[in-house]
Amino acid sequence: MGKFITTLKNINKIDELRKRLLYTLGMIAIYRFGSYVVLPGVDPSYLSALQSQGSSGLLGLLNMFSGGAFSNASIFALGIMPYISASIVVQLLGMAVPYFQKLQKEGESGRNKLNQITRYLTILVVAIQAPAYMANIIRQVPAAGLFPFDPNVTTPPFFFTLSSIIILIAGTMFVMWLGERITDKGIGNGISILITIGIIARLPFALVGEFVARTSAGGGGLVAFLIELVVLLVIVILCILLVQGTRRIPVQYAKRIQGNRQYGGVRQYIPLKINAAGVMPIIFAQAIMFLPMTIAGFGSDNMGRFAATFSNMNGFWYNFVFFVLIVLFTYFYTAITINSNQIAEDMKKNGGFIPGVKPGKKTAEYIDTIMSRITLPGSLFLGIIAILPAIVRLFGVNTQFAQFFGGTSLLILVGVVLDTLSQIESYLLMRHYDGLTKSGRIKGRTS
């Protein structure tokens, strides 16, 4: 506890870090407040059916990502997932379309153009999702709860639906803006932090629900609940090991003599992360798994067989496709994150080489081979952790609490927390203050 208090004092001594943390907390507070602001014309007392719908299944997961805004019929109901979907499309285009490849190589100006394209595409995605969400609200909420100030109206007027769609679009764009501001002026990746805050907001409800279920008659009792908590702790530790695990490649720097001084001749190591992609494969894969349900109109009674199959989080095909997508996105993001050609070129310029490997192209190929070997088990383990909720539900775990046994929520939570702590650690170490750990090394994706 003394170490923690000392760290808080050190954080307070660094003006920039303190301002960034306060700014981040302020943006988070605005986001959480907005998740309780109900769409104009909707009576919150009639939302029981919508809240029941958002307590389980894929809609329950979407509700978790939005921090409960989905089941509250909030102005932020669609959350940040449309932006994630748009980001997926833009990054895939960067692999296939020459124009986007050119933008990726143009540095800061290219990134600004790509960000602008992503924003426009986000508007298009949410413009498709918003009508589907409103159609679902009209099905789930009685007419009296949709237009309470006019009891003679039995069906919501067109203006109510249109204005709600516009508000939902504006709400998602505002959430996206909040995330970008946190990234620029706060601490951590803003988009990931907003998703994480939504997950944390649902954790107390999930814990209470599981405790009540286990302590009720036939639920297994308090011992069963404690066993679940121990298993959850073990899974958290495994997730941390997955996020932080590295493989080090030895690099020898040749001796150089300049004047009377000798340079180089030392051995260093390149740390290659087992999971270099971080939590992004999970976020991207989950965004794609939401598509069939979105196209079918969320909880539509006329949902086709295909959409119904891929909206069943306990089904085989949902979990199989989810697992495969995570593996593929892990390789995809690793290829983006780790540029083996650039690493090999930098080593060659500085007189470094991997013992037994020729500098240049051979070194790049060697790094690619190593990355492929360590990414495979990392991606498979990532996929297994992601589908664990479907497995633990077979043992009677509450649907909401099962989402924290691995799955999308836990992996995002662990990854984002470690990344954010690593940034705080960097600020402290740069100012020569004690860090958050005794060793002063918290490994996140940014470390």
Q: Of the ranges 24-28, 229-233, 333-337, which one carries the lowest mean pLDDT score?
A: 333-337
Residue 231 shares a structural domain with residue 286: yes
Tell me the pLDDT tens digit for each residue of 285-296: 887 887 777 666
Residue 128 shares a structural domain with residue 242: no
Alpha-carbon distance of 376 to 271, in angstroms, equals 17
Alpha-carbon distance of 381 to 235, in angstroms, equals 12
The one-character DSSP state at 256 is E
Residue 304 shares a structural domain with residue 385: yes
Residue 163, amino acid: S
Residue 180 in domain: yes
In this structure, are residues 104 and 114 in contact, taking their beta carbons and an 8 Å threshold?
Answer: yes
Checking if the pLDDT of 429 tops 50, the result is yes
Residue 214 shares a structural domain with residue 282: yes
Residue 100 shares a structural domain with residue 227: no
Checking if the pLDDT of 190 tops 60, the result is yes
Residue 353 shares a structural domain with residue 388: yes
Q: Which residues are CB-neighbours of 42 under 8 A, at least 6 positions away? A: 73, 137, 141, 145, 146
CB-neighbour burial class of residue 328 (10 A; exposed 0-12, middle 13-18, buried 19+): middle
pLDDT of residue 426: 79
Domain count, the chain: 2
Residue 124 shares a structural domain with residue 222: no
pLDDT-derived band at 149 (thresholds 50, 70, 90) equals low
CATH of the domain at 229: 1.10.3370.10
pLDDT of residue 168: 92
Residue 337 shares a structural domain with residue 233: yes
Look up the domain containing 100 and give its range. Answer: 35-186
Alpha-carbon distance of 164 to 446, in angstroms, equals 39
pLDDT-derived band at 262 (thresholds 50, 70, 90) equals very low
pLDDT-derived band at 445 (thresholds 50, 70, 90) equals very low
Residue 399 shares a structural domain with residue 262: yes
The one-character DSSP state at 395 is G
Q: Which helix (H) or strand (E) holds 268?
A: strand 267-273
- Percent of the chain predicted with pLDDT > 90: 9
Residue 333 in domain: yes
Among residues 142, 171, 186, the one where a domain terminates is 186
Residue with the two structure tokens 């775990």: 397
Distances (CA, A) of 388 to 12, 340, 392: 40, 33, 6
Q: Which helix (H) or strand (E) holds 253?
A: strand 246-253
301 or 221, which is more confident?
Answer: 221
Residue 205 in domain: no
Closest CA to 95 of 359, 329, 251: 329
pLDDT of residue 25: 92
